[in-house]
Amino acid sequence: GAVVSQHPSRVICKSGTSVKIECRSLDFQATTMFWYRQFPKQSLMLMATSNEGSKATYEQGVEKDKFLINHASLTLSTLTVTSAHPEDSSFYICSAWDRVNTQYFGPGTRLTVL
Amino acid sequence: AQTVTQSQPEMSVQEAETVTLSCTYDTSENNYYLFWYKQPPSRQMILVIRQEAYKQQNATENRFSVNFQKAAKSFSLKISDSQLGDTAMYFCAFILTTDSWGKLQFGAGTQVVVTP
């Protein structure tokens, strides 16, 4: 079946540095991908919609200059957390819909900012 | 705006028993899909079951079945013959079909613990 991958699965970085997270659809093309953030024991919070070939759409309250999204191809979207701070530590999950309207989620990336 | 409510933060069930998770939603639209997702300790989101709002028949997937009450805007999940591997967080989710398969609206989740 369709698979969405994320890389890296875990990352630890120092405060002030930038971190890039990749999301790939492995056997289907996705013109739209989604980025979620999840805090421990909480639900998924949609951060932004990544659109291939155009600008991402951010949810209210999400800083677009802080969370840069690039969707350069039909199988790859990247989320860059710029100038990361400890409060950005979280679990980030991407997802994509296939052509039969099934949404697949990546395995997630655990970001820890020291 | 659409909202999804899961009022049970945690449910405990013994192996082989049945547990029912509740979910209610609020929308003024008529065309939508509802989902139950499972998130085990690995944190990988897994689709359990989905229901098209236009279908009256309740969806089933092996030991998982739903009770979809459109008028009451209720979408409960029943897990039969519970297994230890069913231990996970379960999220109810909603999407409008007019959203071009865009944003899922999630409930707060219900932690299910299956005990031996």
What does the alpha-carbon distance between residue B15 and residue A47 come to, in Å, rounded to a whole number? 37
For residue A100, what pLDDT is reported?
75
User: What's the mean pLDDT when you consider all of chain A?
Assistant: 93
Long-range contacts at B6-9 (CB < 8 A, ≥ 24 apart): B6/B91, B6/B92, B6/B107, B6/B108, B6/B109, B6/B110, B8/B110, B9/B108, B9/B109, B9/B110, B9/B111
What digits encode the pLDDT tens for the residues A2-55?
Answer: 699 999 999 999 999 999 999 999 988 888 899 999 998 899 999 999 988 889
> How do beta strands A10-13 and A109-113 pair?
parallel
Min mean pLDDT across A73-77, A80-84, B7-11 is at A73-77
Mutate to test the interface with A, among B2, B97, B101, B103 (most CBs of A within 10 A): B101
What digits encode the pLDDT tens for the residues B25-82?
Answer: 999 988 899 999 999 999 999 999 999 999 989 999 999 999 999 999 999 999 999 9
- Which residues 48-87 in chain B show a CB within 8 A of chain A? none
Nearest Cβ partner for A93 among B45, B89, B109: B45
**Cβ of residue A107 closer than 8 Å to a chain B Cβ:** yes
**Cβ of residue A95 closer than 8 Å to a chain B Cβ:** yes
Provide the pLDDT confidence category of residue B1 given band limits of 50, 70 and 90: confident
**Cβ of residue A29 closer than 8 Å to a chain B Cβ:** no
What does the alpha-carbon distance between residue B111 and residue A60 come to, in Å, rounded to a whole number? 28
Q: A with B: how many residue pairs have Cβ under 8 Å apart?
A: 45
**B93 forms bridges with which residues in the sheet?**
B35, B106
